């Protein structure tokens, strides 16, 4: 089929899939909002996660139907849907989201992103994210804290409280350490020391580690490579992404990096940044190997 036809069909299938599962998601979300009973909310949370996973599985289905793509995926065999994982990845395109979901869905708990507190106000989706227990982060600027020193540490307390529910329910938290999608222009403007990556932002990851303590059993370090060039979302929908390489590596979390104070402990901050720097050096080398072998 011509790419434009493929794109239209894929877009319609995505829309139909989303609307179908939304018809189940939002009634369950409404029930969770109005029912304050903890065991009932826990059951509804599990049902909501099942709906989200079904939506992702159906996305993989239409992707297979419409995209003649050669997937090369390397991942550990011992991943568990009953585990607690911190997932990090390089970020190049909005397609990364679908790639991550396709790679990990059904093998680990539903991927959840740390979101800014303000996003809970987004119509419909804010309630859905809340119902799915996406953790909302309330961050205060240095300027605000200078004027209101009594609020220091409150952002971490808020996030830690939001993560309390993860103690009883397996969770996968996702973070793009670069904070934005890679482009050569951004790479050059920021003076990134890496060949294929932007500089990582360690603060968000450290904040998550502090908030969730030792609940994470390990890190899943995901490297995504597009051998034929970084696709736009529309490129992908049109079937113009013939190949995709994904490497998933499970790594331990150093004990000394758990429950530290990234904002006020200079030694801990330096140690954390050096650890993230090493992770990124390894990822850059991995991308170089993938691209040189393509």
pLDDT of 293 strictly over 90: no
Q: Residue by residue, what is the 3-state secondary structure of 46-80?
A: HHHHHHHHHHHHHHHHHHHHHCCCEEEEECCCCCC
CA angle 106, 102, 179 (to 5 degrees): 110
pLDDT digits (tens, 9 = 90+) for 203-252: 778 877 877 767 888 999 999 999 999 999 999 999 999 999 999 999 99
pLDDT at 106 over 80: yes
Average pLDDT over residues 144-157: 65
- ∠ CA 111-112-117, nearest 5°, is 165
**Residue 112 pLDDT exceeds 90:** no
Q: Tell me what pLDDT residue 215 has.
A: 82
For 18-62, the pLDDT digits (tens) are 889 988 988 998 898 899 898 898 899 889 999 999 999 999 999
pLDDT, mean of residues 108-135: 80
DSSP symbols for 7-61: HHHHHHHHHHHHHHHHHHHHHHHHHHHH---HHHHHHHHHHHHHHHHHHHHHHHH
Q: What confidence score (pLDDT) does residue 59 get?
A: 94
State pLDDT tens for residues 155-214: 666 666 666 677 778 889 888 899 889 999 999 999 999 999 999 988 778 877 877 767
- Taking the C-alpha atoms of residue 71 and residue 184, their distance in angstroms, rounded to an integer, is 25
Class of domain 71-292: alpha beta
Taking only Cα atoms into account, the Rg of the chain, rounded to an integer number of angstroms, comes to 20
Share of the chain above pLDDT 70, in %: 90
Which residues make Cβ contacts (< 8 Å) with residue 120, sequence separation at least 6? Answer: 126, 129, 130, 136
Output the pLDDT for position 148: 64
Q: Stretch 262-282: mean pLDDT, rounded?
A: 91
Please report, for the chain, the start and end positions of each structural domain, with discontinuous segments joined by +: 71-292
For the chain, give the mean pLDDT: 87
Residue 144: per-residue pLDDT = 63
* pLDDT band of 113, cuts 50, 70, 90: confident
């Amino acid at each position: 089929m011509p790419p434009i036809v493929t794109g239209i069909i894929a877009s319609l299938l995505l829309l139909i899939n989303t609307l179908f599962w939304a018809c189940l998601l939002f009634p369950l979300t409404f029930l969770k909002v109005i029912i304050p009973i903890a065991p009932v909310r826990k059951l509804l949370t599990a049902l909501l996660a099942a709906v989200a996973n079904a939506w992702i599985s159906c996305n993989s289905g239409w992707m297979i139907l419409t995209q003649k793509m050669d997937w090369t995926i390397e991942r550990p065999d011992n991943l568990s849907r009953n585990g607690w994982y911190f997932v990090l990845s390089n970020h190049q395109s909005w397609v990364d989201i679908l790639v991550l979901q396709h790679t990990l869905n059904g093998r680990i708990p539903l991927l959840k992103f740390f979101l800014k507190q303000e996003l809970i106000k987004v119509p419909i989706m804010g309630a859905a994210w809340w119902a799915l227990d996406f953790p909302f982060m309330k961050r205060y600027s240095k300027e605000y804290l200078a004027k209101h020193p009594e609020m220091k540490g409150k952002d971490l307390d808020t996030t830690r409280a939001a993560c309390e529910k993860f103690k009883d329910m397996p969770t996968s938290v996702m973070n793009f350490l670069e904070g934005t999608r890679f482009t050569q222009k951004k790479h050059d403007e920021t003076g990134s020391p890496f060949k294929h990556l932007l500089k990582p932002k360690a603060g968000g990851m450290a904040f998550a580690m502090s908030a969730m303590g030792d609940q994470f059993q390990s890190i899943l370090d995901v490297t995504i490579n597009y051998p034929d060039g970084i696709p736009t979302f529309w490129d992908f929908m049109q079937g113009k992404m013939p190949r995709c390489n994904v490497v998933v590596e499970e790594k331990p979390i150093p004990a000394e990096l758990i429950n530290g104070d990234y904002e006020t402990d200079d030694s801990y901050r330096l140690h954390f940044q050096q650890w993230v720097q090493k992770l990124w050096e390894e990822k850059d080398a991995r991308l170089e190997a993938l691209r040189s072998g393509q």
